[in-house]
Amino acid sequence: MPNTYFWRKLHSFLGLFPIGVFLFEHMFVNSLALKGEAAFNRGVAFLQGVPYLWLVELVLIFLPLLFHAFYGIYIVYLTKNNVLSYTYFRNWLFYLQRITALVTLAFVAWHVFVLRLGFSGEISYAAVSQTLSNPVVTALYVIGLFASFSHFANGTWSFFVSWGITIGERAQKTTAYICAILFVFLTVVGLKALNAFV
Amino acid sequence: MSNDKSSSIIKPTSKDVTFIIKRSNGPGFSSYWEEFQIPYYPNMNVVGALMEIQKNPVNGKGEQTTPVTWECNCLEEVCGACTMIINGKARQACSALVDKLTQPIRLAPLTKFPLVKDLVVDRRVMFDNLRKVKAWIKIDGTYDMGPGPKIPPQVQEYTYELSKCMTCGTCAESCPNVNEKSKFIGPAAIAQVDLVNSHPTGALMKEERLEALMGEGGIAECGNAQNCAKACPKGIPLTRSIARVNRQTSVYGIRSWLNR
């Protein structure tokens, strides 16, 4: 039976592979909407034509997400935050990582339910546009995107430390800047794609 | 002064220092805050102020009270015994100079260790953890093993920093992942594994130590808040040690699985 060490490392790994990779793929397909309704619909049709789609979705998306989410809730529970006594920048990011974890979890659960599991009919530009026609929904999406991207960017920084890849202070600082750029990049791409549907 | 009720209260003079101390008679007793006015003297430290209370245990209301219990030993920030929470942060009372502290000065016992009484806690777990990870170098034998191996000066320089650890518990106190819900071993023991694993003779037991850190409550429970390195009074590069041991456990974990 694998021990805590294994589950912790698996949790860290799954955040990047496949969940992080999927996040990029998702933003790519969303961004097809910038090229017009037909381009987005072609992208969706291509994905729906992937052989063994149910298996791909199950193994590369649903199972990793479920494990990352539920083990993550346990990690959030194990923490006793102290940002008011120890006001260091990294401690705040540690705290925000846990806040964004819960926000992202709520957002992704709602998003998957509305546009995937509980969705009847074909997914298309028109259908997404219809969902986003409510400004409250759009606002919640903006919050959800910010939470997901910051959780992913900071989690990537943490991945490099937890696996012992970045050891020195300067290496950790440099990857922190790279992860900040990653956050800005994803946010710009995500919001532009979102805007293409509104 | 008029003969109103407050006349019995000791009036703080400009030369008095106000302390507000979290007190408790021990586990099972409720805790309360008690204020003290202590006559100032130059270069006074928190230990000195606590000694003044011991000499004259009268609280801010002028009432006779029990002297505040605390621990101290070396008085030069190398033993860790007088570690307590001073104005919200864990540090040593001996090196906490009153002139450099915001008043009123608030003292409280460490929260991540079992309370004994007032400002005294039981830091035994810090030492138990060192035992758990075998943070020593085995040199005992039945015959003379000759001189020890040469250690490169770069390694000496690095490990000297790690050897400054006085097991005071400040790192554990500042760590959000060390608490009553988690079993996390905390930063100090991990840095000591880095110290003894860096020694050529110590490295003979490297794998046993890594295995101890890969169990429940081990190194993987670090969440990279990195408070420890900032809070450490000895400036030990705890986060560097954690990342170094992260690498050692990652490589060891993958290699031992592939070899199984």
Residue B220 is nearest to which of A5, A94, A157, comparing CB atoms?
Answer: A5
H/E segment holding residue B19 = strand B16-23
Considering only residues 84 to 103 of chain B, which have any Cβ-Cβ distance to chain A shorter than 8 Å? 88-89
For position A29, which CATH number holds? Answer: 1.20.1300.10
| Residue B195 CB-half CA count within 13 A | 22
Q: How far is Cα B140 from Cα B145, in angstroms, rounded to an integer?
A: 9
Give span(s): CATH 1.10.1060.10, chain B: 124-259
User: pLDDT tens digits, residue range B177-230?
Assistant: 999 999 999 999 999 999 999 999 999 999 999 999 999 999 999 999 999 999
Longest dimension (CA), chain B: 86
- Is the CB of residue B138 less than 8 Å from the CB of residue B204? yes
Q: How confident is the model at residue B121 (pLDDT cuts 50, 70, 90)?
A: very high
H/E segment holding residue A6 = helix A4-16
Set of chain B residues whose Cβ sits within 8 Å of the Cβ of A162: 220, 222, 224, 246
Q: How confident is the model at residue B55 (pLDDT cuts 50, 70, 90)?
A: very high
User: pLDDT tens digits, residue range A129-162?
Assistant: 999 999 999 999 999 999 999 999 999 999 999 9
- Residues of chain A above pLDDT 70, percent: 99
How many structural domains is chain A composed of?
Answer: 1
Q: How confident is the model at residue B78 (pLDDT cuts 50, 70, 90)?
A: very high
User: pLDDT tens digits, residue range A158-174?
Assistant: 999 999 999 999 999 99
User: pLDDT tens digits, residue range A62-107?
Assistant: 999 999 999 999 999 999 999 999 999 999 999 999 999 999 999 9
- Is the CB of residue B84 less than 8 Å from the CB of residue B110? yes
Q: How far is Cα A19 from Cα A126, in angstroms, rounded to an integer?
A: 27
Residues B174, A82: C-beta atoms closer than 8 Å:
yes
- Position B31: which residue type? S
Q: How far is Cα A170 from Cα A158, in angstroms, rounded to an integer?
A: 15
Residues B227, A86: C-beta atoms closer than 8 Å:
yes
Q: Look at residue A122 in the predicted model and tell me its pLDDT.
A: 84
Q: Name the percent of chain A in helix, strand, coil, to the closest 5.
A: 80, 0, 20
- Is the CB of residue A154 less than 8 Å from the CB of residue A179? yes
Q: How confident is the model at residue B15 (pLDDT cuts 50, 70, 90)?
A: confident
If you average pLDDT over every residue of chain B, what do you get? 94
| Rg, chain A, Cα only | 18
Residue B224 is nearest to which of A9, A81, A94, comparing CB atoms?
Answer: A94
Considering only residues 35 to 64 of chain B, which have any Cβ-Cβ distance to chain A shorter than 8 Å? none
ipTM value for the complex:
0.95
A1, A3, A4, A74, best to mutate vs chain B, most B CBs in 10 Å: A4
Q: Which of the residue ranges B4-8, B55-59, B215-219 would you say has the lowest mean pLDDT?
A: B4-8
- Pairs across A and B, CB distance < 8 A: 109
Q: How confident is the model at residue A9 (pLDDT cuts 50, 70, 90)?
A: very high
Which residue pairs from A175-184 have beta carbons closer than 8 angstroms and sit at least 24 positions apart in sequence? Answer: A179/A153, A179/A154, A180/A153, A182/A152, A182/A153, A182/A156, A183/A149, A183/A150, A183/A152, A183/A153, A183/A154
Give the distance from residue B112's alpha carbon to the nearest chain A alpha carbon, in angstroms.
Answer: 11
Could you tell me where the DSSP H helices lie in B61-213?
A: 124-132, 153-163, 170-174, 187-197, 206-213
Residues B227, A88: C-beta atoms closer than 8 Å:
yes
The listed CATH number (3.40.50.620, 3.10.20.30, 3.40.50.360, 3.40.50.12780) that belongs to domain B9-121: 3.10.20.30
- Residues of chain B above pLDDT 70, percent: 95
If you average pLDDT over every residue of chain A, what do you get? 96
Mean pLDDT, to the nearest integer, of A14-39? 98
Set of chain B residues whose Cβ sits within 8 Å of the Cβ of A167: 240, 243-244, 247
Place of tokens 């942060």: B89
**Is B253 an 8 Å CB contact of chain A?**
yes
Give the distance from residue A79's alpha carbon to the nearest chain B alpha carbon, in angstroms.
Answer: 5
Residue B1 pLDDT exceeds 60: no
Q: Look at residue A117 in the predicted model and tell me its pLDDT.
A: 86
Q: Look at residue A74 in the predicted model and tell me its pLDDT.
A: 97
Residue B227 is nearest to which of A5, A91, A97, comparing CB atoms?
Answer: A91
Set of chain B residues whose Cβ sits within 8 Å of the Cβ of A161: 224, 239, 242-243, 246
Q: Domain range spanning residue A85? A: 4-195
Mean pLDDT, to the nearest integer, of B30-44? 96
Set of chain B residues whose Cβ sits within 8 Å of the Cβ of A97: 223
Both tokens of B138, joined, read 């085995």
Residue A85 is nearest to which of B89, B219, B220, comparing CB atoms?
Answer: B89
Q: Look at residue B2 in the predicted model and tell me its pLDDT.
A: 45
Residue A2 pLDDT exceeds 80: no
Q: Strand B16-23 relative to strand B32-39: parallel, antiparallel, unpaired? A: antiparallel
Residue B243 is nearest to which of A88, A94, A167, comparing CB atoms?
Answer: A167
For residue B105, list its beta bridge partners.
Answer: B19
Question: What CATH class has B124-259?
Answer: mainly alpha
Residue B53 pLDDT exceeds 50: yes
Q: Look at residue B9 in the predicted model and tell me its pLDDT.
A: 54
For residue A140, which of A78, A57, A198, A71 has the smallest C-alpha distance? A198
Residue B6 pLDDT exceeds 90: no
Place of tokens 């959030």: A76
Q: Which chain A residue has its CA at the smallest distance from B225's CA?
A: A91
Residues B243, A86: C-beta atoms closer than 8 Å:
no
Q: Quick one: angle between helices B206-213 and B187-197, nearest 10?
A: 160
- Is the CB of residue B229 less than 8 Å from the CB of residue B236? yes
Residue B8 pLDDT exceeds 80: no
More confident residue, B146 or B116: B116
More confident residue, B187 or B5: B187
Residue B11 pLDDT exceeds 60: no
More confident residue, A42 or B9: A42
Residue B226 is nearest to which of A8, A90, A95, comparing CB atoms?
Answer: A90
